[in-house]
């Protein structure tokens, strides 16, 4: 049975700044991954390499500055093939900041625990970098 992971975080940055970190390759790799090819329009490529894992999918929705939806999977994986799951980022202005709500849908049961741990880690890094702080090197990054 497919599962979903859901989380939210308050970020001390306006929605347009958080949004930029979801659609700009240089901004994306400041919080997740070491390489990104992003074509931020519906049907455009969404490719990031996260600590040696080639995540592949496409943009489903791009609604500046409030919503981004991408498909998500891993190249070469039978359990989680490219584009087999969906990640939705919803951004809502909260005062001078942003409440980010993330939902990762259709995760295979075997993949749910590590994606829950991963998203908790990377959303924290996104909150830090979008707020203008340097989260430092990703401690999970392969050397």
Domains of the chain by residue range: 3-130
- What are the tens digits of pLDDT across the range 104-141? 999 999 999 999 999 999 999 999 999 999 998 999 88
Residue matched to tokens 């939902």: 103
Q: With the CA atoms of 10, 16, 17 and 22 taken in that order, what torsion angle do they form, in degrees rounded to the nearest 10?
A: 90
Q: What is the mean pLDDT of residues 92-103?
A: 97
Percent of the chain with pLDDT over 70: 99
- What are the tens digits of pLDDT across the range 26-79? 999 999 999 999 999 999 999 999 999 999 999 999 999 999 999 999 999 999
CATH architecture for the domain at 3-130: 2-Layer Sandwich (3.30)
pLDDT confidence of residue 142 = 67
Given a contact cutoff of 8 angstroms between Cβ atoms, the answer to whether 13 and 52 are in contact is no
């Amino acid at each position: 049975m497919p599962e979903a992971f859901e989380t939210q975080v308050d970020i001390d940055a306006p929605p347009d700044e958080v949004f930029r970190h979801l659609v700009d390759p240089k901004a994306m790799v400041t919080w997740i991954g070491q390489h990104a090819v992003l074509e931020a329009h519906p049907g455009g490529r969404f490719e990031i390499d996260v600590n040696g894992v080639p995540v592949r999918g496409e943009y489903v929705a791009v609604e500046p500055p409030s919503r981004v939806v991408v498909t998500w999977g891993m190249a070469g994986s039978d359990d989680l093939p490219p584009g087999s799951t969906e990640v939705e980022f919803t951004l809502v202005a909260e005062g001078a900041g942003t409440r980010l709500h993330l939902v990762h849908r259709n995760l295979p049961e075997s993949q749910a625990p590590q994606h829950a741990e991963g998203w908790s880690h990377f959303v924290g890094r996104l909150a830090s970098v979008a707020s203008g702080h340097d989260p430092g090197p990703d401690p999970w990054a392969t050397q």
